[in-house]
Structure 1
């Protein structure tokens, strides 16, 4: 195969042996390939190392604020729980047998009323989550951020659950109680469940409808937050905030 040599390189190679030296040749080659071009050809830093710690934390906070805001906003809409199959709150398992019996004799409307009231109570309570969730983001440590960025698809959701669930339960329950006081069936359920516990027909944790709804409302909130987190990880360009898009794109390998 015929080789074609550049003029400067030919001149260097054809010089007398006494004039030929590697330093001189290197200088000529460097002139043809300046340092700026060499640097441009070097591979870019990979992974999170290309971002400062502050940038990593800031990007994560952008994404988490986005996920929390969307989850709370969607669940607090009218029928946000009732019409969402992912978070719809059913009757407690131990009451579902009674529900089937009522429906067989044409009294399903009572169960429907109770189910709707339960879901509307959760819907009314969920706005209470916003301040606590955003506060958890604000107080997040660098270690928390690193663990979330490099963790599983629901790492952020688990962080929120660990750091806010007890406080959220305390905020949700009074709203649930207030909502359910309007429904006479809720009081009837509590009486039924109390007897059921003694007979071993109802789980202790389901003995009070207010507690059951509060727990299910929180489960739904964290489930929706996990879904939002997964979306951001899978589709970084949908993240709000330029920095969040960049960092999650790197993690995604895009």
Structure 2
């Protein structure tokens, strides 16, 4: 009878031990899944298909150009960003220096603020043009961008959108320059300067100048976003982006 009891107790202990080990394994599996870092999923590894490369590049660029355009199209988007802030036209910088030296700082500041306000107005029209260029991108374009230089996407946008941006921006800039009295401020500035003895008169097409500077500023911001996607792992916010740009990273090693 004692042998039967001992055997029964031993079997019970083995069962509980087995259940405990099984529970530990399941808890361990659950813990691994819960603590798994983003970007380590199986779906984010391997070689992406041509279609995935196309979709991944388009997704990344749409995120990037939207962010860049949005930053510039608000008040102080240009004026408060030293990388893209529009200064006096080169031929007028001597004018500015001279006028500031005789106390006309306010006049110079008014001109600079008005130029940047015009660019900020125009930037609101940039996003649809960029998005259209992304939609028209071929699979070859996407692959070349993915495996190309760090500014391959920015160069693509310069090539396919600059003419459209000039056409779209120019009337907006012209309207905005008039709205914020830029032409009057600039006319006052050049008139004051041209009255000085022995100076060469200065004339500038403000609409052309601000339009080009606004477009240049957009491409500066697009380039920033492109570098972020290429070099910052946390910017790859979806499984597709992780897979596509992870593949590009491996190809460049």
Using structure 2 for the length normalisation, give the TM-score. 0.73
- Residue 155 (1) aligns with residue 152 (2): yes
Structure 2: distance between partners of 1:174 and 1:223: 22
Q: Choose from 115, 136, 140 the match for 2:133.
A: 136
- Residue 76 (1) aligns with residue 73 (2): yes
- Label 1:184 to 1:66 Cα distance change in 2 as closer, same or farther (>3 A): closer
Q: Check the 8 A contact 2:47/2:243 in 1, yes or no.
A: no
State the Cα distance separating 1:127 from its structure 2 match: 1.2
What value does the CA root-mean-square deviation take over the aligned residues? Answer: 2.5
- Label 1:143 to 1:133 Cα distance change in 2 as closer, same or farther (>3 A): same
Aligned residue number for residue 38 of structure 2: none
Aligned residue number for residue 25 of structure 1: none
Aligned residue number for residue 67 of structure 1: 64
- Label 1:123 to 1:184 Cα distance change in 2 as closer, same or farther (>3 A): closer
State the Cα distance separating 1:108 from its structure 2 match: 1.1
- Residue 209 (1) aligns with residue 206 (2): yes
Structure 2: distance between partners of 1:153 and 1:113: 38
- Label 1:173 to 1:166 Cα distance change in 2 as closer, same or farther (>3 A): same
Q: Tell me the number of residue pairs that the alignment of Structure 1 and Structure 2 aligns.
A: 200
Aligned residue number for residue 179 of structure 1: 176
- The one of the two structures with greater contact order (alpha-carbon pairs below 8 A, sep at least 6) is 2
Structure 1: distance between partners of 2:87 and 2:118: 13
Structure 2: distance between partners of 1:140 and 1:49: 24
Structure 1: distance between partners of 2:237 and 2:112: 35
Matches within 5 A, 1:37-56: 50-56=47-53
Q: Check the 8 A contact 2:48/2:243 in 1, yes or no.
A: no
State the Cα distance separating 1:207 from its structure 2 match: 2.9
State the Cα distance separating 1:171 from its structure 2 match: 0.9
Aligned residue number for residue 117 of structure 2: 120
Q: Choose from 68, 77, 100 the match for 1:103.
A: 100
Runs of at least 5 residues in structure 1 that lack an aligned partner in the other structure = 1-47
CA deviation map 1:163-193 (0-9, x unaligned): 0110011111111111111344525647959
Give the SS at the match of 1:181: helix
Using structure 1 for the length normalisation, give the TM-score. 0.73
Runs of at least 5 residues in structure 2 that lack an aligned partner in the other structure = 1-44
Q: Choose from 90, 94, 101 the match for 1:93.
A: 90
